[in-house]
Amino acid sequence: MRVVDLLARGRTFSFEFFPPKTAEAQAQLTTTIAELAPLHPDFFSVTYGAQGGERTRTRDVVVALAHNGSIPPVAHLTCVGHTEAEIDMLLGEYKAAGVKNILALGGDQPADPTQVGPSDFRFAQDLVEYVQANSDICIGVAAHPEVHPRSPSRESDRQHLAEKLRLADFAMTQFFFDVDHYQRLVDELSALGVHKPVLPGVMPVTNKSQLVRMAQMSGSEIPQWLNDRLAPFESPNDIRQAGVEIATQLCTELLAAGAPGLHIYTLNRSTAAREIALNLGLGQA
Ligand SMILES: Cc1cc2nc3c(=O)[nH]c(=O)nc-3n(C[C@H](O)[C@H](O)[C@H](O)COP(=O)(O)OP(=O)(O)OC[C@H]3O[C@@H](n4cnc5c(N)ncnc54)[C@H](O)[C@@H]3O)c2cc1C
């Protein structure tokens, strides 16, 4: 099913995975999916890396989810390292497998640029336009509530986001910890005349050093109140419990602010994601 149609029916809740690199990681992901599926999420999304074997791993997870048929997948797809012919091939494979959704992204720059091939697309908007002209797949785009780290200004970031979201069906955000970031993003898009659904991405903190690394990569702020909340905890279980409480509170505030759904980053683990869903009374249909 298309995400845009799911959103038209009401609020969605969904989970994000990344493609596993090893047989052990694949087994972990299989378990996670099996534990989250009974919550009846509206869709699963699968991240994408343009480098080496990552692209086929994403495709394999997405196609397997589509064949399974119970929960629709959203396949992330990047400008980085893709020619039009490669995009055509992937879209063909997705169409054949019954995949109805992609998330069209600029893509993270690989640490070693020689590891990816040339790209026919510079910005996510170029990819949105190309995919739209060549398929009828539902298209989401990325939004950065705290502004994309490479943007020269907030205004230019919002203008470019508004341009691509005018074409696309929905947006999904980078993670953030204060509801005000989301509210401001939606208000700024609205002021630019764009009212498409913006799904907030929520990442439960389960590991302090991972949080610091991911925040640096994504340009998300770690607010002082979050550091203070996590400071007393050292054991993985205590950190996860605090992370779940914080994420549940944020989700509650997001729903009160009118968010059209919640997209939870799982990092391929089910426990925190499942606890948040259950805290919110989701997934008991
Ligand atoms: C929900 C979500 C999921 C993600 N999943 C993945 C993933 O699976 N794989 C991965 O590699 N990365 C992923 N990312 C990271 C993303 O690819 C990076 O943040 C990337 O640097 C930007 O992607 P974008 O789609 O926002 O790019 P773009 O929309 O191309 O924007 C990138 C920058 O260029 C600017 N810009 C856009 N259009 C123009 C224009 N016409 N002229 C001048 N400047 C312009 C923007 O303001 C921004 O600063 C994800 C991010 C999010 C929020």
Q: What is the pLDDT of residues 76-97, one digit of tens each?
A: 999 998 999 999 999 999 999 9
Q: Which atom of ligand 1 is nearest to the CA of 141?
A: 25
Is residue 116 in contact with ligand 1, taking CB distance under 6 Å?
Answer: no
Rg (CA), the chain: 18
Q: How confident is the model at residue 275 (pLDDT cuts 50, 70, 90)?
A: very high
Is residue 77 in contact with ligand 1, taking CB distance under 6 Å?
Answer: no
Q: Which atom of ligand 1 is nearest to the CA of 104?
A: 25
Amino acid sitting at position 100:
K
Is residue 125 in contact with ligand 1, taking CB distance under 6 Å?
Answer: yes
Q: What is the pLDDT of residues 2-38, one digit of tens each?
A: 999 999 999 999 999 999 999 999 999 999 999 999 9
Is residue 164 in contact with ligand 1, taking CB distance under 6 Å?
Answer: yes
Q: Which atom of ligand 1 is nearest to the CA of 124?
A: 30
Helix then strand count (H, E) for the chain reads: 11, 8
Is residue 203 in contact with ligand 1, taking CB distance under 6 Å?
Answer: no
Nearest CA to ligand 1 atom 12: 107
Amino acid sitting at position 70:
S
Judged against a pLDDT cut of 80, whether residue 50 lies above it is answered with: no
CATH no. for residue 138?
3.20.20.220
| 284 domain-assigned | no
Query: How many structural domains are present in the chain?
Result: 1
| CA dist 46 → 33, 72, 139, 174, 279 (Å) | 12, 11, 14, 14, 24
| 144 domain-assigned | yes
Judged against a pLDDT cut of 80, whether residue 46 lies above it is answered with: yes
Q: What is the pLDDT of residues 207-219, one digit of tens each?
A: 999 999 999 999 8
**Number of neighbouring beta carbons within 10 Å of residue 214:** 18
| 247 domain-assigned | yes
| CA dist 174 → 122, 194, 214, 275 (Å) | 20, 18, 11, 21
Q: What is the pLDDT of residues 223-249, one digit of tens each?
A: 999 999 999 999 999 999 999 999 999
pLDDT at position 52, please?
A: 67
Cβ within 8 Å of residue 190, ≥6 positions away: none
Share of the chain above pLDDT 70, in %: 99
**Number of neighbouring beta carbons within 10 Å of residue 222:** 16
Rounded CA separation 127/135 (Å):
12
Range of the domain at 89: 3-279
Active site residue 16: yes
| CA dist 183 → 7, 54, 169, 265 (Å) | 19, 34, 19, 20
pTM of the complete model beyond 0.85: yes
- Name which of 158, 121, 161 is nearest 142 in CA terms: 161
| 179 domain-assigned | yes
| 285 domain-assigned | no
Please give the distance, rounded to the nearest whole angstrom, from the Cα atom of residue 125 to the centre of ligand 1.
9
Is residue 122 in contact with ligand 1, taking CB distance under 6 Å?
Answer: no
Please give the distance, rounded to the nearest whole angstrom, from the Cα atom of residue 141 to the centre of ligand 1.
8
| 211 domain-assigned | yes
Please give the distance, rounded to the nearest whole angstrom, from the Cα atom of residue 197 to the centre of ligand 1.
18
Residue of 16, 54, 188, 275 with catalytic role: 16
pLDDT at position 108, please?
A: 86
Is residue 41 in contact with ligand 1, taking CB distance under 6 Å?
Answer: no
| 244 domain-assigned | yes
| 92 domain-assigned | yes
Please report the beta strands in the chain, taking only residues with DSSP state E, as ranges in sequence order. Answer: 12-17, 43-46, 73-78, 101-105, 138-143, 170-175, 198-202, 261-265
